Chain A
């Protein structure tokens, strides 16, 4: 479970995240929606222990990332919005490096070609990352998550740069990982992914969690008709 209690982050005069109280159950795919600069990435960094909260605390799998950063990092996986990877490593070597960093067993390392094949990178796995497109680098960063299968997955705008086929593949993979018990938090402003795979949605605006619930619950709150999509609901709730 992921839990935040009064989580707040202030950067000089900017209140990036304001008193965030959130609970995400195990196996849930939670969409964290909001416009640019709403505080999504800041929340995610605090959950990973990469940013220190100004007030409040977070628990990931019952552990505070500030107090037990190593244990939390072992349980979590991150794909940032711009996953800069080591340009002079091949895709295969990058995954090998990740496997070593996280002490994965030998049979997981043997799965590397298979994981790369899932993302259509099998023909590129012995090429250096510098020759990859942005989308391919995104896929490689996601491959590392699939290889590790961590208990908690944090994805920051994971579909930007992916082609439609890969986006669909990605959605299937996320659902599969959640079924195996992974808790997934997706920060995005692309509403389609939230609509198609997420169990619940949280809307953050100017640092505050303004609405939370399933799409049906949000639809009721927004007072929109049954046929209306998340886009209509989002606009109604954030206007």
Chain B
């Protein structure tokens, strides 16, 4: 070995890493409490049931296509190829984003690169880690597709082994491409800001695509009168999808088995395996030239100073002027942290895209009947409730957890638990309130509902916003997660899932109770009944009463929990 670490990959050293990873996993399992095991088993069962459900649905779907003459077979292959294509592009994207954290900014890199390990070994280990983290979910997502198709086509065990086997090089090629992009970017712009810029760009492009695809109105293609050329349609489904991409090669393997085409099967299998190996060779070769240089230069980059005292700060100062000093301090701090972290503020872009598409969907509802429009507005209460729950899970629920390890600053300050929880509540309540009100009022206006339904649904949505945000804040305080890498881990924790379950129950309850005055209203309009103020008032009071409880009880428990947390 020479004095300077080189780029050779040392298999023995790689094995050490794999052994350590394995040991870490074993220790985590051993250290898990009974509650953690219980939660783990609960969610695993839930996930299994979910995938089983998807698989059953796909089995019916493929079974149906099997009996459709002429186009059934081609359509099934088309669906599989589209699934592989979507996952391939998602995999490139997720590997690119993950690789910034794992390959260039991982916390253990200063230690690893200070040891006499070959840089090539460190890079390969990090690449394997990236490929694993980005790919396992893709493989899991494809299980119901492959298994249901295999059952319909009466495939033998060799089909499953081969298909899932060649998915490994398929994932490696996609991960390799993602990592390749990040390597080039980090070589050209070796700074932590590159990671942020890629993230922001991805969210902007993602939101743009989401809105654009919705504006294309894909449902129009399902209408027979829109299919001017049936031959064109047949050509489309029979043509291969992106023939030069591994997603089509994967489809080729599946097709080779299903249609008994051994040449195609062997060709695409070997193509995938050789491409996987070639990708690894290519990126490890590139890493020899770029990896250490990029990493070292990224260490030297100095962050840009934030703009202080600009119009944003002045506006916040003005808006918060009337609030108490400590509340103002917390709010200003939280706003600064939010708008300086691209992981956080880009969520507002997603929120914007969500509102646009939501309202567009309402506008495009094919309703030309007075009753249908009013019924749609009524069911919109439930849909809006669901959207509010999802947004509250993103903004309100993690409000306390994002204090992370800096929570000691607030704990040792003269702030009561009530002040901490409520100040965070009001601050995060605002975006949810704006969203909820916007989707409710605009939907009602677009649907041209009558005054009774307008106020019933708008009132219900306003009350739901309070209840669902109170529930989110309270549960977020009861189940805080201070030691997480990112906010997504807070949302997907046990408390986050339970919040979604409770909020679904609440939304269902609101709809069930308010259906009562709505039915009465329709009966009055059609001359089949009389208006009863008692029905309306009792339904509204029931919803309001339960909503007050859903709002206040979790917040009281949350405040108490933070208080106890300080004394534990």
Contacts and interface: CB of A to CB of B under 8 A. Distances in A.
Contacts of B333: 86, 89, 93, 97
Size band of the interface chain A makes with B: 35 or more
Contacts of A49: 566-567
Contacts of B451: none
Contacts of B332: 97, 100
Nearest to B344: A88
B409 A50 contact: no
B412 A78 contact: yes
Interface string A83-95: 1111011101100
Contacts of B336: 88-89, 93
A52 interface: yes
Nearest to A69: B566
B329 A84 contact: no
Contact of A48 (B308, B406, B412): B412
Nearest to A46: B567
A85 B404 CA distance: 10
Interface in A6-62: 48-52
B413 interface: yes
A175 interface: no
A72 B191 CA distance: 44
Nearest to A78: B412
A128 interface: yes
A52 B567 contact: yes
Interface string B325-347: 11011101100110011000000
B306 A50 contact: no
A206 interface: no
B326 A100 contact: yes
A127 interface: yes
A143 to B, nearest CB: 13
Nearest to B416: A70
Specify which of A71, A82, A102 lies most central, judged by the most chain B CB atoms within 10 Å of its CB: A102
A94 to B, nearest CB: 9
B328 A100 contact: yes
B434 interface: no
B399 to A, nearest CB: 14
Contact of A89 (B337, B413, B568): B337
B302 interface: yes
A86 B567 contact: no
A128 B306 CA distance: 7
A126 B415 CA distance: 26
A80 B416 CA distance: 20
A100 B325 CA distance: 6
A86 B409 contact: yes
Given A49-B566, A52-B567, A102-B414, A88 B408 contact: no
A88 B308 CA distance: 12
A76 interface: yes
Contacts of B30: none
Nearest to A74: B414
Interface in B454-510: none
A52 B308 contact: no
A173 B329 CA distance: 27
Nearest to B341: A88
B405 interface: yes
B344 to A, nearest CB: 9
Contacts of A80: 408
Interface in A87-125: 88-90, 92-93, 97-98, 100-103
Contacts of B408: 78, 80, 83-84
B223 interface: no
A84 B308 contact: no
Contacts of A131: 302-303
Contact of B303 (A76, A77, A102, A130): A130
A48 B408 CA distance: 11
A92 B341 CA distance: 18
B305 A90 contact: yes
B411 interface: yes
Contacts of B303: 127-128, 130-131
B329 A101 contact: yes
Contacts of A48: 412
A73 interface: yes
Contacts of A69: 566
B412 A70 contact: no
Interface in B399-427: 404-406, 408-416
B308 A93 contact: yes
Contacts of A126: 305-306, 308
Contacts of B566: 49-50, 69
A50 B566 CA distance: 5
B559 to A, nearest CB: 14
A52 B227 CA distance: 73
A8 to B, nearest CB: 15
Contacts of B416: 70
A64 B197 CA distance: 51
B490 to A, nearest CB: 17
A51 B567 contact: yes
Interface in B86-128: none
B412 A84 contact: no
A73 B412 contact: yes
Contacts of A101: 326, 329-330, 409-410, 413-415
Given A51-B568, A128-B340, A90 B325 contact: no
Interface string B318-330: 0000000110111
Contacts of A98: 409, 413
B414 A84 contact: no
A49 B328 CA distance: 25
Specify which of A70, A88, A128 lies most central, judged by the most chain B CB atoms within 10 Å of its CB: A88
Contacts of B404: 84
Interface of B: 302-303, 305-306, 308, 325-326, 328-330, 332-333, 336-337, 340-341, 404-406, 408-416, 566-568
7 A-B pairs with least C-beta separation: A100-B329, A84-B405, A73-B414, A88-B340, A52-B567, A78-B412, A101-B413
14 contacts: A50-B412, A52-B568, A69-B566, A70-B416, A71-B414, A74-B414, A83-B408, A88-B306, A89-B333, A97-B333, A101-B413, A102-B413, A102-B414, A131-B303
Given A48-B412, A101-B326, 15 more contacts: A49-B567, A69-B566, A73-B415, A80-B408, A88-B306, A88-B340, A88-B341, A89-B336, A90-B305, A93-B308, A93-B336, A97-B329, A101-B415, A102-B413, A103-B325
Interface of A: 48-52, 66, 69-71, 73-74, 76-78, 80, 82-86, 88-90, 92-93, 97-98, 100-103, 126-128, 130-131
